[in-house]
């Protein structure tokens, strides 16, 4: 079973994604912002992948991704950026920072499964 950390400030998005991931047999962890996500990763080094929202209070997705990659002591799960931004430069920024895939919101069960497969998570 794969463990996926959902990071999104929207409770509705977390609920929807949790349902999708539970249906395909994943264990789901949640965080509301980047700072919480780093804490959850310290507590759950077994995490296989992070679905990471871009726009969040406290610490946004790109800042969390950069902080994660800069810290050699942290576990390094695959990071899939989830965003409503369709600005290609932002996506390239996330890929350059170490994200392995990106998903545009809103996404379907099928897209989520495909992207996790593409990222080598499933």
What residues make contact with Mg ion under the rule CB under 5 A? 9, 53, 55-56
Please report how close the Cβ of residue 52 comes to Mg ion at its closest, in angstroms: 10
At residue 8, the 3 state secondary structure works out as coil
Shortest Å distance, C-beta 105 to Mg ion: 9
Residue 8: Cβ-neighbour burial (10 angstroms; 0-12, 13-18, 19+): buried
Shortest distance, CB of residue 10 to Mg ion, whole angstroms?
6
Shorter beta-carbon distance to Mg ion: residue 9 or 48: 9
Q: Which is nearer to Mg ion, 34 or 122 (CB)?
A: 34
Please identify, using beta-carbon distances, which residue of 39 and 55 lies nearer to Mg ion.
Answer: 55
Closest CA to 119 of 96, 107, 103, 106: 103
Listing from the earlier edge strand, what are the strands of the sheet with 3-7? 27-31, 3-7, 49-53, 78-83, 101-104
């Amino acid at each position: 079973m794969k463990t996926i950390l959902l990071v999104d400030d929207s409770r509705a998005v977390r609920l929807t994604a949790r349902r999708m991931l539970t249906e395909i047999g994943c264990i789901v962890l949640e965080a509301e912002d980047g700072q919480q996500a780093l804490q959850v990763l310290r507590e759950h080094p077994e995490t296989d992948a992070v679905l990471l929202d871009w726009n969040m209070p406290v610490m946004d997705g790109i800042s969390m991704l950069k902080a994660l990659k800069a810290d050699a002591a942290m576990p390094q799960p695959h990071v899939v950026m989830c965003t409503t931004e369709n600005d290609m430069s932002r996506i390239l920024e996330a890929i350059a920072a170490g994200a392995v895939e990106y998903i545009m919101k809103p996404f379907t069960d099928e897209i989520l499964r495909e992207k996790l497969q593409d990222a080598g998570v499933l």
